Amino acid sequence: MKDVRKLKDHAAQLVQHGKLAQAVAVYEELAEAEPRDARWPQKVGELQRKRGQVAEAVESFAEAARRFAEDGFLVKAIALCKVILG
pLDDT digits (tens, 9 = 90+) for 23-63: 999 999 999 999 999 999 999 999 999 999 999 999 999 99
CB-neighbour burial class of residue 4 (10 A; exposed 0-12, middle 13-18, buried 19+): middle
Parent domain of 43:
4-85
Q: At 86, is the pLDDT very low, low, confident or very high (cuts 50, 70, 90)?
A: confident
Please count the structural domains in the chain.
1
CATH number, domain containing residue 35: 1.25.40.10
